Amino acid sequence: MPKSGWMPTMLLILALTAACTRHRVEMAPVEIKPIHITIDVNVKIDKELDNYFDDVFEQEDRIREQHESTAE
């Protein structure tokens, strides 16, 4: 084989053998579990609403008492 054909022949053999690789991918089953998260964010808002409505109900009771005393 002449020297000029040796390098292209080796590159051709290298390219052909590199293209003959095999890859195998296996997908294992993925287990999905539920996540339970408890966040108590509403506690502060609930307390503020209770305080607000307590004030409203106290005013309502005072108005009702004033109305009953004037109606008698």
Task: Please give the pLDDT value at position 3.
Answer: 62
If one compares 59 and 34, the residue with the highest pLDDT of the two is 34
**Distance from C-alpha of 61 to C-alpha of 69, rounded to nearest angstrom:** 12
Task: Please give the pLDDT value at position 54.
Answer: 81
3-state DSSP percent of the chain in helix, strand and coil, to 5:
65, 0, 35
pLDDT tens across 28-52, in order? 888 889 998 887 666 778 788 888 8
* Residue-averaged pLDDT of the chain: 78
Question: How is the chain split into domains, by residue range?
Answer: 35-72
CB distance 45 to 37 below 8 Å: no
To the question of pTM greater than 0.75 for the whole model, the response is: no
**Distance from C-alpha of 65 to C-alpha of 42, rounded to nearest angstrom:** 34
For residue 52, give the nearest of 44, 63, 41 by alpha carbon.
44
